[in-house]
Amino acid sequence: MNFNTVVEQSNILYLRFHETILKFNDLWYNHILFTWRWWLSVFLIVLPWIIWHFYRNKESSDRLLSAGLFVIIISSFLNITGISMNLWGNPVRPLPIVLPYDASALPVATMLTIQFFPKVNPLIKSILFSAFVSFILMPIGSSFSLYINIAWKDYYSFPIFIVIYLLANRIASVNEFIKNN
């Protein structure tokens, strides 16, 4: 196949992708928007940040937010990758393009865990955090059809969340070190 054919085939696939996005937007607008699941997803985005606002340690906000931003970036990348590989789906979203939990529950839970348990070994915290997310939160989200497994098992996420938490904890620690010097 020559390069011009590759470009033509790519354009055809991009057009199909665009058509799929338009169909999803139509589905979202006509069958998801303002349903009880939609309101639940909005609530699950807003509530963690409200909790964060009231319970955060204001002196540690910068270092914790840098760890939270890391979690948002990594989890969004992994979520988009998993969706595009048809491993799982997020059928109910507050907006068609927004993946809600990557930018709310996961980073806020990470930041609060780092803040409230500073003396606990990070590996122990990461294991407990990962177990909570993988074996409690994900199945709850799945039971409400906010998250669906297609070719993925919740326990596959367990080691991934351990690594994400440990890296976020390290970022918060490095940021603290820089601030103290």
- What confidence tens digit (pLDDT) does each residue in 113-169 have? 999 999 999 999 999 999 999 999 999 999 998 889 999 999 999 999 999 999 999
- What confidence tens digit (pLDDT) does each residue in 85-110 have? 999 998 888 888 766 678 899 999 99
* DSSP structure string for 31-86: IITTSHHHHHHHHHHHHHHHHHHHHS-GGGHHHHHHHHHHHHHHHHHHHHHHHHTT
